[in-house]
Protein backbone atom coordinates (compact mmCIF):
# COMPACT_ATOMS: atom_id res chain seq x y z
CA UNK A 1 0.00 0.00 0.00
CA UNK A 2 1.44 3.36 -1.01
CA UNK A 3 1.36 6.21 1.51
CA UNK A 4 -1.18 8.97 0.82
CA UNK A 5 1.44 11.60 -0.03
CA UNK A 6 3.70 9.92 -2.55
CA UNK A 7 6.97 11.01 -4.08
CA UNK A 8 7.59 10.08 -7.68
CA UNK A 9 10.82 8.33 -8.66
CA UNK A 10 12.66 11.57 -9.46
CA UNK A 11 11.57 13.26 -6.23
CA UNK A 12 12.70 10.24 -4.23
CA UNK A 13 16.05 10.18 -6.00
CA UNK A 14 16.47 13.93 -5.30
CA UNK A 15 15.61 13.36 -1.64
CA UNK A 16 18.18 10.58 -1.32
CA UNK A 17 20.85 12.64 -3.10
CA UNK A 18 20.15 15.74 -1.02
CA UNK A 19 19.92 14.04 2.37
CA UNK A 20 22.51 11.29 2.01
CA UNK A 21 24.81 12.49 -0.77
CA UNK A 22 24.07 9.47 -2.94
CA UNK A 23 26.01 9.55 -6.20
CA UNK A 24 26.16 7.57 -9.44
CA UNK A 25 28.86 5.42 -7.81
CA UNK A 26 26.40 4.06 -5.24
CA UNK A 27 24.98 0.78 -6.50
CA UNK A 28 23.03 -0.62 -3.54
CA UNK A 29 20.45 1.00 -1.30
CA UNK A 30 19.20 -0.73 1.83
CA UNK A 31 16.15 0.30 3.84
CA UNK A 32 16.02 -0.85 7.47
CA UNK A 33 12.77 -0.91 9.41
CA UNK A 34 12.32 -1.88 13.02
CA UNK A 35 9.51 -4.15 14.15
CA UNK A 36 7.18 -3.84 17.12
CA UNK A 37 6.69 -6.51 19.75
CA UNK A 38 4.79 -6.94 23.00
CA UNK A 39 7.02 -4.44 24.83
CA UNK A 40 6.50 -1.77 22.15
CA UNK A 41 3.20 -2.52 20.39
CA UNK A 42 2.43 -1.57 16.82
CA UNK A 43 0.71 1.74 16.08
CA UNK A 44 -0.32 3.79 13.05
CA UNK A 45 2.96 5.78 12.92
CA UNK A 46 5.00 2.60 12.91
CA UNK A 47 2.76 1.07 10.24
CA UNK A 48 3.14 4.22 8.12
CA UNK A 49 6.95 4.05 8.27
CA UNK A 50 6.98 0.36 7.31
CA UNK A 51 4.59 1.02 4.42
CA UNK A 52 6.70 3.97 3.29
CA UNK A 53 9.89 1.89 3.27
CA UNK A 54 8.11 -0.86 1.34
CA UNK A 55 6.72 1.63 -1.18
CA UNK A 56 10.06 3.37 -1.69
CA UNK A 57 11.93 0.09 -2.14
CA UNK A 58 9.38 -1.09 -4.73
CA UNK A 59 9.50 2.26 -6.52
CA UNK A 60 13.29 2.20 -6.77
CA UNK A 61 13.37 -1.47 -7.81
CA UNK A 62 11.10 -0.57 -10.72
CA UNK A 63 13.75 1.86 -12.00
CA UNK A 64 17.06 -0.04 -12.13
CA UNK A 65 18.84 3.03 -13.52
CA UNK A 66 18.88 4.48 -9.98
CA UNK A 67 20.41 1.51 -8.13
CA UNK A 68 21.53 -1.93 -9.20
CA UNK A 69 20.09 -3.38 -6.01
CA UNK A 70 17.48 -2.13 -3.54
CA UNK A 71 17.00 -4.13 -0.34
CA UNK A 72 14.49 -3.98 2.48
CA UNK A 73 15.38 -5.54 5.83
CA UNK A 74 13.66 -5.54 9.19
CA UNK A 75 14.96 -6.05 12.69
CA UNK A 76 13.60 -6.26 16.23
CA UNK A 77 13.27 -2.73 17.59
CA UNK A 78 16.22 -1.43 19.57
CA UNK A 79 13.97 -0.07 22.37
CA UNK A 80 15.23 3.53 22.17
CA UNK A 81 16.60 6.15 19.81
CA UNK A 82 20.30 5.83 18.95
CA UNK A 83 20.55 2.41 20.60
CA UNK A 84 22.77 -0.27 19.12
CA UNK A 85 21.09 -2.30 16.40
CA UNK A 86 20.43 -5.98 17.03
CA UNK A 87 22.93 -8.57 15.80
CA UNK A 88 20.50 -9.97 13.22
CA UNK A 89 18.13 -8.62 10.60
CA UNK A 90 15.45 -10.22 8.45
CA UNK A 91 14.81 -9.98 4.75
Query: Does the pLDDT of residue 1 top 80, yes or no?
Result: no
The pLDDT assigned to 74 comes to 94
The pLDDT assigned to 63 comes to 79
Each residue's pLDDT tens digit, 12-64: 989 999 999 988 889 999 999 999 999 999 999 999 999 999 999 999 998 77
Distance CA 29, CA 31 (A): 7
**Total residue length of the chain:** 91
Give SS3 for 59: helix
Query: Does the pLDDT of residue 5 top 90, yes or no?
Result: no
Amino acid sequence: MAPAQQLDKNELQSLLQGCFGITAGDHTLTFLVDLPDASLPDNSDWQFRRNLAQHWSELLRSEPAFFERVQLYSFPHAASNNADLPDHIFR
